Structure 1
Amino acid sequence: MSAWDAVVVGGGPAGSATAARLASAGFAVLLLDRAAFPRRKPCGECVNPAGVAALHRLGALDRVLAADPARLDGWRIAAADGRAFLGRFPADVHGLGIGREVLDTLLIEHARDAGVEVRTGLKVADLRREGGRVAGVVIEDGTEIASRMVVGADGLRSVVVRRLQLLRRPPRLRKLALTAHVRLPEPMAGRGELRTLGAGCVGLAEVDGGRANVTVVVTGDEMHAVGGDRDAYFDGALLRCGLAGAERVDDVLATGPFDWPVRRAIADGALLVGDAAGYYDPFTGQGIFRALRGAELAAEAVEAALHAGDVSAAALAGYERARRRAFGPGERLQHLVEAFVSRPRLLGWAAGRFARRPVLGDAIIRATGDVRPVSSLLSPSLVARLVL
Structure 2
Amino acid sequence: MASLVLAFGFFISCTGQRELLTENVEQTETAVLLEQSQELLRDDPGSADGHYMAGVAAYRQAVAETAPYRQDFYELMVTSFDKARQNYDNRSPALDHMHSLQQTAWSQEFARAQATQTDPEASGLTTVHAQNAITLYPDSVQVHLLLSEIYLEQRDLEQAATYLFPVVQSGDRYGAYYERFAYLQTRNGNYDEAGSWYLRSIDWMKSFQSQSLSPADNPAQRGSLLNAYHGAINTLSEAGNTELAISLLNELTTAMDEAGPYHEMLIVQHLYLIRNAALDTYTEFSAPAVEDAMYSIRLSTEAYPELRPFAANEYIDLASAYIDLQTELNDSYQISQSQTVGLFLEEARYYYQAMLDAFPGNEEALYGMAATYNLTGNTDQAEAWLEQVNP
Alignment TM-score, normalising by the size of structure 1: 0.19
- Pick 1 or 2: higher relative contact order, CA cutoff 8 A, min separation 6: 1
Larger Rg: 2
Alignment TM-score, normalising by the size of structure 2: 0.19
Larger fraction in helix:
2
